Chain A
Amino acid sequence: DAMVIQNPRYQVTQFGKPVTLSCSQTLNHNVMYWYQQKSSQAPKLLFHYYDKDFNNEADTPDNFQSRRPNTSFCFLDIRSPGLGDAAMYLCATLRDRGTYGYTFGSGTRLTVV
């Protein structure tokens, strides 16, 4: 089945140690999003790629970076995770601008120790 896959499902990292979360999709969608969802809060948009064009939300911390080496993969890099970065990270895809129907992955729950 075509889907959005996030690995790993659970990630534990040490304070200050760089960590990378991955998202892959078999849908051939042009747009990929990263959301951060802290406990009991709404998902918050961090950034998205429209094809290779990177779009950063104004309030996304510099500590967060993203890479999209090809259509299928998108990575979220946290350069120096702090305790406040512990959250569920959700990847979503969209076929194209002007269409509808996000497809979300199952998320990666990040713990910082």
Chain B
Amino acid sequence: AQKVTQAQTEISVVEKEDVTLDCVYETRDTTYYLFWYKQPPSGELVFLIRRNSFDEQNEISGRYSWNFQKSTSSFNFTITASQVVDSAVYFCALSDANNDMRFGAGTRLTVKP
């Protein structure tokens, strides 16, 4: 069975702080995909990144970076120099080879000015 755990329910930081959102996953599949989505108060899910199980390279996109470690089944997300606009709920998700996606419970990030 697939499972995604986001242990941090809520995180609050002050603007310009760095923050890391944790994601731990479980799967028996050898081929799988990991995702991060942002959900602002308006409700739509905004795609941030996708990683497949064969690509452990870390990725940086502007202030966002992702650390994928198969050895610990983790796919953590770091926001550098956080801004108020980063306030949202962030979901980590896992999909199998059939692409049926399962979401973690989400982490609510509040960035205070």
Contacts and interface: CB of A to CB of B under 8 A. Distances in A.
**Majority SS at the chain A contact face:** loop
Contacts of B95: 100
B106 A98 contact: no
Interface of B: 33, 35, 42-45, 47, 50, 52, 91, 95, 97-106, 108
A97 B99 contact: yes
Contact of A41 (B35, B99, B102, B105): B105
A4 to B, nearest CB: 10
Contacts of B91: 42-43
Contact of A102 (B47, B98, B104): B47
Interface of A: 31, 33, 40-45, 48, 88, 90, 92, 94, 97-102, 104-107, 109
Contacts of A31: 99
A106 B106 contact: no
A37 to B, nearest CB: 8
A49 to B, nearest CB: 12
A72 B108 CA distance: 34
B43 A88 contact: yes
B44 A107 contact: yes
Nearest to B101: A102
B47 A101 contact: yes
Given A42-B91, A43-B91, A100 B43 contact: no
A104 to B, nearest CB: 4
A106 B47 contact: no
B99 A42 contact: no
Contacts of B33: 100
Nearest to A57: B100
Given A94-B99, A98-B99, A107 B105 contact: no
